[in-house]
Amino acid sequence: MANYYQPEIETASPEQIRAWQDERLVAQVKHVWDNVPYYRAKMEEKGVTPDDIKSCADLHKLPFLTKDDLREAYPYGLMGKPLSECVRIQSTSGTTGKRVVAFYTQKDIDLWEDCCARAIMAVGGTKDDVCHVSYGYGLFTGGPGLNGGSHKVGCLTLPMSSGNTDRQLQFMCDLGSTIICCTPSYAEYLAESIEERGLKDQIKLKAGIFGAEAWSENMRHDIEEKLGIKAYDIYGLTEISGPGVSFECEDQTGMHINEDHFIAEIINPETGEVLPEGEKGELVFSCITKEAFPLLRYRTKDICVLTREKCSCGRTFVKMSKPMGRSDDMLIVKGVNVFPSQIEQVLLEQGYPANYQIVVDRVNHSDTLEVMVEMTPENFSDNLGQITEMEKSLVAALKAMLGIYAKVKLVAPKTIARSEGKAVRIIDKRKI
């Protein structure tokens, strides 16, 4: 018994979807050529003009965009509409401290929220549901996106934001939340807190929409069992809009990409060559309906597989697997993007050597981030107070850069493991 937000789109024939994509891509390339000088220059450099793009078959002719481009063009260089037409900014962290800022017109927000509404209805959401959104609200896209989607479905929306588990549980019990949206690790934490407090029989949850970090089938089963719900995945990134770029349906075998808005390709991350559907590679998105931030061929760095099989839910959109890894060194910690280069920059600014190690773990269902730094003669003092002060200011600088707490661990010189002269920078101990 499938539940669609926009059935005529979500179950359209593959030919119809392709026709929309062809038409919208051609128009979008013109829009970008006329309004985004940064991308026009890239096209000119490749010797491509809008006349060369007649359908999706020509997509491969267009140049790629990467996070480096976003940094170079920061903040306004990739905008397709004047600021006066924009109504919203969302943001995420970038590679070397510069944040990624994405702009939205009212139409962009509308379409993004449609995508989130599809995701909520795909898990069985209706206007009779109480949708409890525990993603962070603010610059992070998680809260605002699902909040908007929940409104569109007509759910009673609980804009909880993240944190304050006592209040989350109180509202969940008192107001009868039926759908929970949060990170999978927070869902695990909530499940455990519910068990500890013996609240299980007061919980009315039936489904959860979990994203913004990696999770496994094991975690899915664990959450489903502990919370007595069905657990669904959702995928997105700020550059492309936010959560809802793709979403899971009742079949729970991958996430349907909203192909009427985004064209997905899989490429070989080394060569940039487009790979046939079904092969594993880097996911690339082209936004064909966005106005304010119309990225074309944006490399997500997420490694995954696309499959276009008939889905039991009746949706015809292509499905992507859970990301299986990254083609860069980005880490996702507590749902936040963390680049080792950001940590390196802070260390250098604070007078520490760039020899460090990042240890990520998951303790009590919450990610932990530890930065091991080697002590130097310059930073050492016989006075413990002085060292702890320095440590505190390093922790504060890391928090300012990353947006999350990182524990600093000072270690003796030459203790950070090196392999073949190259330091091992990241140790991810999370078992997910």
Q: How many residues bind other proteins (CB under 8 A)?
A: 18
Name which of 266 and 390 has its Cβ closer to other proteins. Answer: 390
Token pair 């695990």 is at which residue? 188
Considering the complex, what minimum distance in angstroms separates the CB of residue 362 from other proteins? 20
Residue 267 phi, psi (nearest 5)? -125, 160
Token pair 């910690």 is at which residue? 333
**Which span (3-11, 151-159, 385-393, 397-405) binds other proteins, by CB under 8 A?**
385-393
- Report residue 118 CA to chain centroid gap: 17
Handedness of CA 326, 328, 332, 337 (dihedral sign): negative
Name which of 164 and 386 has its Cβ closer to other proteins. Answer: 386
Q: How far apart are CA 169 and CA 155, in angstroms?
A: 19
Name which of 192 and 370 has its Cβ closer to other proteins. Answer: 370
Closest CA to 244 of 163, 123, 129, 332: 123
Name which of 76 and 380 has its Cβ closer to other proteins. Answer: 380
Considering the complex, what minimum distance in angstroms separates the CB of residue 372 from other proteins? 10
Rule CB under 8 A: is residue 347 a binding residue for other proteins? no
Name which of 305 and 373 has its Cβ closer to other proteins. Answer: 373
For residue 275, how many C-alpha atoms fall within 13 Å in the half-sphere facing its CB?
Answer: 20
CB 290 within 8 A of CB 263: no
Residues in CB range of 238: below 8 A, 6 or more apart: 90, 91, 92, 100, 102, 141
Considering the complex, what minimum distance in angstroms separates the CB of residue 411 from other proteins? 5
Residue from 45, 384, 420, 421 that binds other proteins (CB under 8 A)? 384
Rule CB under 8 A: is residue 275 a binding residue for other proteins? no
Considering the complex, what minimum distance in angstroms separates the CB of residue 98 from other proteins? 32
Amino acid at the residue 62: L
Residue from 19, 73, 156, 387 that binds other proteins (CB under 8 A)? 387
The two tokens of residue 356 are: 């460090």
Rule CB under 8 A: is residue 382 a binding residue for other proteins? yes
Residue 127 phi, psi (nearest 5)? -70, -10
Residue from 46, 54, 200, 409 that binds other proteins (CB under 8 A)? 409
Name which of 90 and 357 has its Cβ closer to other proteins. Answer: 357
Binding string to other proteins for residues 361 to 380, with x set by CB under 8 A, is what? --------------xxx--x
Q: Is 378 exposed, middle or buried (0-12, 13-18, 19+ CB in 10 A)?
A: exposed
**Which span (44-52, 143-151, 194-202, 412-420) binds other proteins, by CB under 8 A?**
412-420
Residue from 166, 383, 419, 421 that binds other proteins (CB under 8 A)? 383
Of the chain, the end-to-end C-alpha distance in Å amounts to 31
**Which span (25-33, 311-319, 358-366, 410-418) binds other proteins, by CB under 8 A?**
410-418
Q: How far apart are CA 337 and CA 213, in angstroms?
A: 9
Residue from 72, 278, 413, 423 that binds other proteins (CB under 8 A)? 413
CB 227 within 8 A of CB 208: yes
| Interacting residue ranges for other proteins, rule: CB under 8 A | 375-377, 380-385, 387-388, 409-415
